[in-house]
Amino acid sequence: MRAPRPAPPVAPRRPTTLRLHGDERVDDWYWLRDRDDPAVRAHLEAENAYTEAVLAPLRPLRDRIYEEIRSRVQETDASAPVPDGPWEYFTRTAEGLDYAIHCRRPRGDADPAHEAVLLDENALAAGHDYLAVGVFSVSPDHRLCAYAADTTGGERYTLRFRDLSTGRDLPDVVEDVTYGFAWAGDSRSCFYVRPDAALRPWQVWRHTVGEPATADVLVFQEDDEHFFVTVRRSRSERFVFVETASKTTSEAWFVPADDPGAPPRVVAPREPGHEYHVEHHWDEERGDRFLVVTNAGGAARNFKLVAAPAVDPARQYWTDLVPHRDDVRLEAVDAFARHLVCTERHEGLVRLRVLSVEDGSAHDVAFPDPAYTVWIGPNAQYDTATLRYGYTSLVAPVTDVDHDMDSHASTVVRTQPVLGGYDPADYVSERIWATAGDGTRVPISLVRRRDVPADGRAPGLLYGYGSYEHSVDAAFRSSRLSLLDRGFVFAIAHVRGGGELGREWYEAGRLGRKMNTFTDFLACAQHLVEHGYVHPGRLVARGGSAGGLLMGVVANLRPDLFAGIVAEVPFVDVITTMLDPSLPLTVTEWEEWGDPRDAEAYRWMRAYSPYDNVRTQPYPAMLVTTGLHDPRVQYWEPVKWVAKLRAHTTSGRPILCRVELDAGHGGPSGRYDAWREEATVLAFVCDAAGVS
């Protein structure tokens, strides 16, 4: 990248000394956390101006990529309809509009004249630079919908209710809610979640439509700051579940949906280390029972499935349905009247196993690609033999499939259109394995054009995450074609700390073993180079949030491996953040990263914290993004990290910071702005790898 004419913005050094456990850390840019300081706002704006100036020569490339992204999208489109009672529900988009339009039509009637618009997010967004809808739920009688909107990116929503016969909002307004919502059976009572001052979901409230929010009733409160609360209704519509969980312990409570005023009852009282998730099943033969995916307090490390009588679901009455398996991670169960669907993970890949309630027989749903992902789609009906699931791979666009659980036949309902003549046969997807320094085999999902040989000349982009037991599965992105068609190899490093290979894979990349996450990623990068997939000087790394932490660590450990790094909303000031319990997420995150007030935890965090380990060396070109209203990773972490990197790099390659002043953790909310942002990132990646 050509040297920029303007000098980068300089944040003055105002040293703050932080002492703990006999260690002294000097933070020259601690002052940037004061968002009310006019000098901070001026610095953020200067960062944006500098980034635009440096990227100005890439504007033609960025514009071409943006047009490529847009040209592949069928801008006026509709999702696969989901049957629910007398209606089919779907969302559609319209060319020129940023947001989804939620609709329904009479079941089996595709006449556009009979379509009804329930909620137009574009209308909600009018006059705002940002919009996110955190709740959208139609009442059981199909007469009302509840929706919650956020217009700042701060993830505090306002809940409203709409009469679907008139299209008008009711007077009910509930301020300051967060994710999680459930209707009761009467279609007037509902349950929602409130956050505390640190944005921790901690209370479940009951609201009655038509009554003021001041009359709402507190149903459940979680006082332990390690726990987050949510609420949902079972697919059977017979129960509402209140769930509270930390990173290592969970607890579920239930309320009969037809008796919303009843006090919640616990399924199994919390025990340290016991994680479980509850679903409800009912049929005439067995009555009401709860299906529980449980690790049995650690005895079933990869989880098992048990049944419990709803009348008394205490643990002593649990009976095994699917036993624990050392090589299979049971992730979830979905209950239908005559079938149970288990979502499992084996050798890093998701699979769906369908169990017959009547005779106990089982079958697996088949998938064609070597690396893919699959998920249970929207299935509003309980008494049905049709399972809607979603499927995608690195070469297959997102596809909605209806699977007949009796005949085992699958029918494609809809495949995401990819315009411009996309042919999956032009690309090849692979699953390969790198070997980490301790001998552990680490899976890599990879895609390239079929005509790009593995001769050590190709540019490459390596993506990683590796935290929270979150699995980054192989999925299609039409925007990625702008790289692949320029000869890039795209790869995902499925590093430890994620959940791809079961619970142990996660445990091996958290707390005191966190360094495995970073060295696994480096092993994957080296494997791509050593086996000729990419050129050693043309590899770019990318990750966001906890994946941005990964980017920060590998930049410090092996800057020579990468021509460029993209770190989006990166969590990079680990110790300082984890010492501040007033920040969102901090207390519950101690179970993921460690509590630095403990000397041993401080020691292992100090060894990798990106901000604390920046040193004088030649860093690669870097593009760092953040959002001013991000409640998950505060804006000052990336901003001061960039200031420190610039003060220490010896390479002369640009280190850029792009600050979304009207967005939060997810970046721009409108799809056109999101495409422009992605085009900017891809143009940076191309330039860093020497591709025009």
Q: Identify which of 559, 567, 578 has the alpha carbon closest to the alpha carbon of residue 642.
A: 567
Residue 575, C-beta contacts closer than 8 angstroms, at least 6 positions apart:
25, 596, 602, 605, 606, 609, 612
Q: The domain that contains 176 carries what CATH number?
A: 2.130.10.120
Pair (484, 584) in one structural domain: yes
User: Does the structure show a pLDDT above 60 at 3?
Assistant: no
Pair (80, 202) in one structural domain: no
Query: Is 327 within a domain?
Result: no
Q: How many whole angstroms separate alpha carbon 271 and alpha carbon 221?
A: 18
Q: What strand order describes the sheet that includes 349-356?
A: 329-335, 339-346, 349-356, 362-364
Q: How many whole angstroms separate alpha carbon 425 and alpha carbon 218?
A: 56
pLDDT at residue 342 in the model: 98
pLDDT digits (tens, 9 = 90+) for 156-168: 999 999 999 999 9
Pair (153, 257) in one structural domain: yes
User: Does the structure show a pLDDT above 60 at 580?
Assistant: yes
Answer with the one of 125, 145, 165 that is the final residue of a domain.
125
User: Does the structure show a pLDDT above 60 at 19?
Assistant: yes
Structure tokens at 78: 């509709």
Structure tokens at 162: 């709409």
Helix (H) or strand (E) holding 117: strand 116-120
Structure tokens at 224: 């332990």
Structure tokens at 121: 């997010």
User: Does the structure show a pLDDT above 80 at 665?
Assistant: no
Pair (239, 252) in one structural domain: yes
> Which amino acid does the sequence have at 94?
A
Residue 160, beta-bridge partner list: 147, 173
pLDDT at residue 5 in the model: 59
Pair (64, 83) in one structural domain: no
3-class state of residue 406 by DSSP: coil
Please tell me the least confidently modeled range out of 93-107, 448-462, 573-587. 573-587
The whole-number average pLDDT for the span 378-396 is 97
Q: Identify which of 427, 465, 431 has the alpha carbon closest to the alpha carbon of residue 446.
A: 431
pLDDT at residue 497 in the model: 98
The whole-number average pLDDT for the span 131-151 is 97
Residue-wise DSSP of 322-364: E--BTTBEEEEEEE-SSEEEEEEEETTEEEEEEEETTT--EEE
Pair (583, 669) in one structural domain: yes
Query: Is 478 within a domain?
Result: yes
pLDDT at residue 667 in the model: 80
Residue 434, beta-bridge partner list: 442
Neighbour-count burial of 480, counting CB atoms closer than 10 A to its CB (0-12 exposed, 13-18 middle, 19+ buried)? buried
Query: Is 201 within a domain?
Result: yes
Tell me which of 150, 393, 665, 687 is the catalytic residue.
665
Pair (160, 115) in one structural domain: no
Question: For the whole prediction, is pTM greater than 0.75?
Answer: yes
Four-residue CA torsion sign, 65, 71, 77, 80: negative
Pair (133, 110) in one structural domain: no
pLDDT at residue 286 in the model: 87
Average pLDDT, the chain: 96
Tell me which of 139, 250, 545, 609 is the catalytic residue.
545
**SS3 track for 586-622:** HHHHHHHHCCCCCHHHHHHHHHHCCHHHCCCECCCEE
Residue 652, C-beta contacts closer than 8 angstroms, at least 6 positions apart:
3
pLDDT at residue 379 in the model: 97
pLDDT digits (tens, 9 = 90+) for 473-496: 999 999 999 999 999 999 999 999
The whole-number average pLDDT for the span 350-369 is 95
Answer with the one of 221, 244, 266 that is the final residue of a domain.
266
Q: Does residue 630 carry a catalytic annotation?
A: yes
Pair (226, 151) in one structural domain: yes
Q: Which domain holds residue 658?
A: 16-70+421-688
Pair (116, 187) in one structural domain: no
Pair (171, 65) in one structural domain: no
Structure tokens at 172: 């009910």
Q: Identify which of 428, 427, 633, 671 has the alpha carbon closest to the alpha carbon of residue 548.
A: 633
Q: How many whole angstroms separate alpha carbon 412 and alpha carbon 155?
A: 35
Count how many Cα atoms sit within 13 Å of the Cα of residue 161 in the half-sphere of its side chain.
26
Query: Is 437 within a domain?
Result: yes
CA distances from 190 to 133, 204, 211 (A): 18, 10, 12
Q: How many domains does the chain have?
A: 3
Q: How many whole angstroms separate alpha carbon 26 and alpha carbon 15?
A: 6
The whole-number average pLDDT for the span 122-143 is 97
Answer with the one of 266, 284, 301 that is the final residue of a domain.
266
Under DSSP, the state recorded for 73 is S
Query: Is 673 within a domain?
Result: yes
Tell me which of 393, 630, 669, 687 is the catalytic residue.
630
Q: Does residue 535 carry a catalytic annotation?
A: no
Pair (90, 220) in one structural domain: no
Query: Is 302 within a domain?
Result: no
User: Does the structure show a pLDDT above 70 at 2?
Assistant: no
pLDDT-derived band at 465, boundaries 50, 70, 90 = very high
pLDDT at residue 155 in the model: 93
Q: How many whole angstroms separate alpha carbon 456 and alpha carbon 436?
A: 21
Q: The domain that contains 464 carries what CATH number?
A: 3.40.50.1820
Query: Is 196 within a domain?
Result: yes
The whole-number average pLDDT for the span 281-298 is 93
Count how many Cα atoms sit within 13 Å of the Cα of residue 632 in the half-sphere of its side chain.
17
pLDDT at residue 6 in the model: 83
Query: Is 589 within a domain?
Result: yes
Report the greatest alpha carbon distance in the chain.
Answer: 77
pLDDT above 70 covers a percentage of the chain that reads: 99
User: Does the structure show a pLDDT above 50 at 4?
Assistant: no
